[in-house]
Amino acid sequence: MLRCCWILTLSILSASMAANAESPKVDFAREIQPILAQHCGACHGADEKTREASLRLDIRENAIAKKAIVPKDLKASKLVARIDTNDPDLQMPPPESKKPLTGRQKQLLKAWIEQGAEYSKHWAFEAPRRSPVPVNLARHPIDAFVLDRLAKEKLRPAAEADRPTLLRRVTLDLTGLPPTPGELAAFLADTSPNAYEKVVNRLLSSPRYAERQAMAWLDAARFADTNGFNNDEDRTQWPWRDWLIGAFARNLPYDRFLVEQLAGDLLPDAKLDQRVATAFLRNQVHNTEGGIIPEEYRVEYVADRVHTTATVFLGLSMQCARCHDHKYDPITQREYYQFFSFFQNIADKPASYSNFVGAEPYIRVPSSEQRLRVESLDARRVVLEKELKSRESAIEAAVAAWEKSLTPVARQKLAGAGSLLRVSLDEKDGANVATSEAAIRGTVRGKPKWGPGKIGGSLEFDGATFVEVANAPSFEGDSPFSIGIWAFPTANDLLALASKMDDGAGHRGWDMLLENGKISTHLVNHWPDNGLKIVARKPLSINAWHHVLITYDGSRKGAGVKIYVDGKLEPTDITNDTLKDTLRTEKPLHIGRRGASLPFKGKLDDMQIFGLELSADNAAELAATKPVDLVGSLLAIPVEKRTPTQQAAIRRFYLEKIDTEFAKSKAELADVNRQRADIEKNFPALMVMDELPKPRDSFLLKRGQYDQRGEKVSSGVPAIFPSLNAGDRSANRLDLANWLVLPNHPLTARVAVNRWWEMYFGTGLVKTVEDFGLTGEFPSHPELLDWLATEFVQSGWDVKAFQRLIVTSATYRQTSHVTKELRERDPENRLLARGPRYRLSAETIRDNALAISGLLAERMGGPSVKPYQPAGLWEDVTVERRGKYVAAKGEDLYRRGMYTFWKRTCPPPGLMTFDAPNREVCVARRAITNTPLQALVLLNDPTYLEAARKLAERMIEEGGPTPAGRVASAFQRAVCRLPTANEEGVLLRLQADALARFRADPTAAKMFLAVGDSPRVSKVDDAELAAWAVVASTILNLDETISKR
């Protein structure tokens, strides 16, 4: 037997009814203001430009001064005559406005004037007033307010729902998933008085709770995985979704939740996490269509931020004041642009269609896996660096000992050390090319034509010939190296001496070019945003041999690159200087070519690559065809006569070439750095807010047009609200965010608690959750709304505590059964004399089916996933029919709906059918429709057919050998109760029919069971399993299964 949570009796009801004698007093806020706003506001409201007869009806003094209204005197009030007349020239509102008043509205206006025509400020623009909780026998404050209202309506609340129904309701509401049989059994077995509260606490601490709350915020934040518009490229805003889930999981107070999303980047010492939060303001659509006017779209993006912020945090239709003063709410166009100016101080750069990564500003944010990898690599790096350092510090003695041990022969050998690869091009015939390293060989592509060269032979290049050398050394961005070659150019075109470059990967690698006779080189990670280029100022002569040497010090700076021609340092220009990362590429070394378009014409000879930065002396040696002496000559200098630089060079040589342990550690360090760079390269780009150092000038835009600038405005908030004080500087986004969470802000807390109310009851206390303005709906329970708002603020904006407050109320716990009388009296359940009953949301319907069948993959967060989708939908609409939808494999097919990849021009069809929006603009409230297309999805979408197949396996496994046991098991999983005898009978008959059918046609059974990727586990024969799958599909299609009740 369930406790009665209300504790009330009929006698109390009648007592309060008596107190509520009929009162004809007209309520301005609820009854008059909406009429004035809707029917008169356009010509007699706030908008000065459209005002007629300079009459304002939204200001009492003005209306009285103009004699439109004379309080308590209908005859003298011109308004009354004008609304009553049938003369079309006089009638108000004018017939052409097509906004006629109803008889009831006219009556109300007259009654109000008779009663004195009192105005009051719109309720939602005044701070919430905390009324005392009504005194009645309800134990929970929410119930006290609800009961108070019910009593006035002469209605009684319903009894508490039965325990299984209640458990299913609260579990679906708090986690978006159904309870398991184990959870049901535990709840039924728990006889303690706070059994329900224990369940609520368990659910609130579940990670599923955080996902469920986050899911509801995705529409409001117009989150999607593509840019929208014509080109609709993929984007990677999902790290923000991970942040969102985390915020609910750690119960981030709502004021912080708001501040971090609106202005996390402006917080003192903003952490990465807080910058990630601001992606909320960058989730808007982005257009990369060729030929758009960037300023036009920049203005649109800012307008979207205003629209979203105002709608989801303030419940205001501020966008209505973009082109003119707001027709109903006290927001002028000027105030709109003051608000607008908060949101426009970021780069908001246009982005190109090809290779879209993100529109600046964006940051790279690691996924949780990437973060772990990087952390472990960093830990290893610290160890290695320490090791290398300690070896280095104990080096002097080791070097001295080594020097002492060197024989003259060994010294001789050291002379040439430091060369990594030498390709002397001294072959006489054939296409094979030898190098200094036995393991590295090259091949001549095209016609090999050998001849005399600068040193020994050389190879001739006719514009189609080149040498390809696989496995040649590759370089990090921070490793020094040098490359030299002898060249005899015979043309003045754009020529390539050599390159090792991956054209397809943003030209990663290096090259050595001759551009109209001038030597140039690119060192590139990704051109042009991550690479450098330097060009010699003087051209070299053609038809002559020149030695060309490029040296690099590993600084990632253009200034660290030198060009020597014939041993002399050339003056150069740095034309690009953005290198940040590695140059490493697996592409082969090409001599006499870069890519398909840059060949060489002439002769090339003796290419050498060194693993260090050569000196000017070395350059002269090479130009004189002498071997380069890297340490040999230094060692010949007696120790006491060496300069510190010379001694350092010997030390470095010893460490890198002689001390093998050091070299090993150094190589590992390089490897660690490379791995880290590779991971970082794949960090998703997240578009975020990043305030410009100097705010943009802000202007009123006439008619909202980007190119029609009017007066200059400064940042600010509409005058109707409490003022925003930023001292003597102009207010920024952070000031705005802090202003929004002022404890006495009239809207922020009300809008937030109302949205949650809607989440639990299907309708907000203010039905128009997106509009608290003059044309929004008056709250069904104004005192309750204000009590909840103030309670929420007083709790320290504690989000979890607020959910607990609602779901522990008796109002929430009522049964949803409804009688015909009550349904007719209160079809939308605004009075709350019963519990909520309505269809689940799109994502929850799918999650629910996956959970019931055991398919649900519980992995949280990360990139969006692609479950089953009918073929060809993307190709139908994408540019050049390029988009191809490739469904995932394995667990990504069964992740929660909130992780489904959201393509704005072609959103997931199964979810759209159940009223999901396309996420182009913020949506604060989804409709709940009931259509045959929904039936088709649940009957035939492979997602639900596969779930039925797995549920069939599960019911056989868990339900035991009897058909009735199996039906009971699946039924209970789906709707948290056992079937009645009638229901059981229906399903058993269906099973028998299906079984007979599948026994007669085993192929049909096989085909029916072939849907979906998940393997079949059950050993039951095809016909039987298929018959159970039909039963399971029926259960998944029940109205009860897809409804909260």
Q: Return the residues of window 468-497 that contact another protein according to CB under 8 A.
A: none
| Binding characters for another protein, 1018-1037, by CB under 8 A (x = yes) | --------x---x--xx--x
DSSP calls for 712-743: EE-----TTSPP---TTSPP-HHHHHHHHT-T
| Binding characters for another protein, 179-198, by CB under 8 A (x = yes) | --------------------
DSSP calls for 862-908: SS-B-----TTHHHHHSGGG--------GGGGGS-GGGB---TTS--
Choose, by CB under 8 A, the member of 937, 951, 974, 976 that binds another protein: 937
Query: Min. distance of Cβ 390 from another protein in angstroms?
Result: 59
How far is it, in rounded angstroms, from Cα 659 to Cα 535?
38
Is 1000 a binding residue for another protein by CB under 8 A? The answer is no
Choose, by CB under 8 A, the member of 1005, 1014, 1028, 1044 that binds another protein: 1005
Is 838 a binding residue for another protein by CB under 8 A? The answer is yes
Interface with another protein in residues 53-112 (CB under 8 A): 98
Q: Could you tell me which of 223, 260, 217, 249 has the C-alpha nearest to residue 238? A: 223
Question: Which residues lie across from 500 on neighbouring strands?
Answer: 510
Choose, by CB under 8 A, the member of 538, 696, 712, 1006 that binds another protein: 1006
Helix, strand or coil, per DSSP, at residue 695: coil
Query: Min. distance of Cβ 289 from another protein in angstroms?
Result: 5
Choose, by CB under 8 A, the member of 185, 935, 978, 1017 that binds another protein: 935
- By the 8 A CB rule, do 305 and 280 touch? no
Cβ proximity to another protein: between 861 and 907 the closer is 907
**What's phi and psi for 304, nearest 5 deg?**
-65, -40
Choose, by CB under 8 A, the member of 818, 860, 956, 968 that binds another protein: 818
Q: Stretches 119-127, 566-574, 803-811, 929-937: which one binds another protein (CB under 8 A)?
A: 929-937
Query: Min. distance of Cβ 878 from another protein in angstroms?
Result: 5
Query: Min. distance of Cβ 66 from another protein in angstroms?
Result: 25
Is 596 a binding residue for another protein by CB under 8 A? The answer is no
Choose, by CB under 8 A, the member of 84, 671, 680, 1040 that binds another protein: 1040
Q: Which residue has the tokens 């006629």?
A: 100
Choose, by CB under 8 A, the member of 515, 915, 957, 958 that binds another protein: 915
Q: Identify the burial level of 738 via C-beta atoms within 10 angstroms of its C-beta, where 0-12 means exposed, 13-18 middle and 19 or more buried.
A: middle
Is 505 a binding residue for another protein by CB under 8 A? The answer is no
Cβ proximity to another protein: between 733 and 1045 the closer is 1045
How far is it, in rounded angstroms, from Cα 753 to Cα 145?
15
Query: Min. distance of Cβ 292 from another protein in angstroms?
Result: 5
**H helices of 563-702, where?**
616-623, 632-636, 644-653, 660-681
- By the 8 A CB rule, do 416 and 422 touch? no
Query: Min. distance of Cβ 433 from another protein in angstroms?
Result: 44
Interface with another protein in residues 273-292 (CB under 8 A): 285, 287, 289-292
Query: Min. distance of Cβ 949 from another protein in angstroms?
Result: 10
How far is it, in rounded angstroms, from Cα 318 to Cα 246?
30
Cβ proximity to another protein: between 489 and 917 the closer is 917
Cβ proximity to another protein: between 36 and 799 the closer is 36
Q: Which residues contact 356 (CB under 8 A, 6 or more apart)?
A: 227, 231, 233, 234, 235, 288
Cβ proximity to another protein: between 256 and 839 the closer is 839
Q: What angle do CA 983, 985, 990 make, to 5 degrees?
A: 100
Is 1013 a binding residue for another protein by CB under 8 A? The answer is no
Is 1016 a binding residue for another protein by CB under 8 A? The answer is no
* Residue 539 per-residue DSSP state: P
Question: Which residues lie across from 1005 on neighbouring strands?
Answer: none
Query: Min. distance of Cβ 1013 from another protein in angstroms?
Result: 15
Is 633 a binding residue for another protein by CB under 8 A? The answer is no
Query: Min. distance of Cβ 1038 from another protein in angstroms?
Result: 6
Choose, by CB under 8 A, the member of 1011, 1014, 1025, 1028 that binds another protein: 1011
Interface with another protein in residues 757-816 (CB under 8 A): 768, 770-771, 773-776, 816
Interface with another protein in residues 329-348 (CB under 8 A): 329
Choose, by CB under 8 A, the member of 722, 870, 960, 965 that binds another protein: 870
Cβ proximity to another protein: between 203 and 845 the closer is 845
How far is it, in rounded angstroms, from Cα 321 to Cα 704?
9
Choose, by CB under 8 A, the member of 48, 678, 828, 1021 that binds another protein: 828
Interface with another protein in residues 31-60 (CB under 8 A): 37-38
Query: Min. distance of Cβ 927 from another protein in angstroms?
Result: 4
Q: Stretches 190-198, 436-444, 612-620, 831-839: which one binds another protein (CB under 8 A)?
A: 831-839
Q: Which residues contact 319 (CB under 8 A, 6 or more apart)?
A: 303, 306, 307, 310
Is 708 a binding residue for another protein by CB under 8 A? The answer is no
Count CB-CB contacts under 10 A for residue 586: 12
Q: Which residue has the tokens 């280029």?
A: 533
Residues in the chain: 1045
Beta-sheet strands, E only, within 553-655: 561-565, 568-569, 572-577, 589-591, 593-594, 598-599, 601-610
Query: Min. distance of Cβ 90 from another protein in angstroms?
Result: 21
Q: Stretches 19-27, 616-624, 740-748, 991-999: which one binds another protein (CB under 8 A)?
A: 991-999
Query: Min. distance of Cβ 103 from another protein in angstroms?
Result: 15
Choose, by CB under 8 A, the member of 447, 538, 696, 989 that binds another protein: 989
Find the helix or strand (DSSP H, E) in which 701 lies.
strand 698-701
CA-to-CA dists, residue 914 to 219, 556, 893, 902, 911, angstroms: 14, 54, 19, 15, 5
Choose, by CB under 8 A, the member of 132, 638, 644, 932 that binds another protein: 932
Choose, by CB under 8 A, the member of 742, 888, 1004, 1020 that binds another protein: 1004
Interface with another protein in residues 197-256 (CB under 8 A): 228-232
Query: Min. distance of Cβ 215 from another protein in angstroms?
Result: 18
| Binding characters for another protein, 872-911, by CB under 8 A (x = yes) | x---xxxxxx----------------------xxxx-xx-
Is 729 a binding residue for another protein by CB under 8 A? The answer is no
Cβ proximity to another protein: between 359 and 1011 the closer is 1011
Number of residues interacting with another protein: please give it, by CB under 8 A: 106
Count CB-CB contacts under 10 A for residue 933: 11
Q: Which residues contact 915 (CB under 8 A, 6 or more apart)?
A: 841, 842, 926, 927, 928, 929
Longest Cα–Cα distance of the chain, Å, equals 124
Choose, by CB under 8 A, the member of 4, 639, 1010, 1017 that binds another protein: 1010
- By the 8 A CB rule, do 420 and 609 touch? yes
Distance from the Cα of residue 869 to its chain's centroid: 22
Q: Could you tell me which of 950, 943, 938, 949 has the C-alpha nearest to residue 868? A: 943
Q: What angle do CA 20, 24, 28 make, to 5 degrees?
A: 110
Q: Which residue has the tokens 């002439």?
A: 602
Cβ proximity to another protein: between 555 and 1037 the closer is 1037
Pairing outcome for strands 466-469 and 442-445: antiparallel
Is 1008 a binding residue for another protein by CB under 8 A? The answer is yes
